[in-house]
Amino acid sequence: METVKAGVIQNFEVAYEQCWKFMKRWIEQNVSAGVVDGVTRRELFRVSAENRLLDDVALWMEFHQSRNLTSLTYDSNNADHAFGSALLFIGAAKEFLARLESRND
């Protein structure tokens, strides 16, 4: 089970990174290049919510915090927390993808 959990966490890390980078790229290309240049992750998520790419900024900040935990230290408590976040992330990432698809030509 620990191997499966580690795999889920690793995929969560990669998918989370790709999501926030794609949010930034989408906003730069569809809103303004300077709007998200050098902003915090919270601000990026806020701007993404303003542009209807996501609904829950606090949830995405939770994903961010979980991602930070896994990159800084890897102990069983952090792993359990990240695993739980990864399970929530699946639905949020699918919703984000659906919103991107519906807004792109």
pLDDT at 74: 66
* 52-101 pLDDT tens trace: 999 999 999 999 999 988 866 567 888 888 999 999 999 999 999 999 99
The whole-number average pLDDT for the span 33-39 is 91
Q: What is the DSSP string of the chain?
A: -HHHHHHHHHHHHHHHHHHHHHHHHHHHHHT-TTTTTT--HHHHHHHHHHTTS-S-HHHHHHHHHHHHHHHH---HHHHHHHHHHHHHHHHHHHHHHHHHHHH--
Higher pLDDT pick, 87 / 103: 87
pLDDT at 94: 96
pLDDT at 73: 58
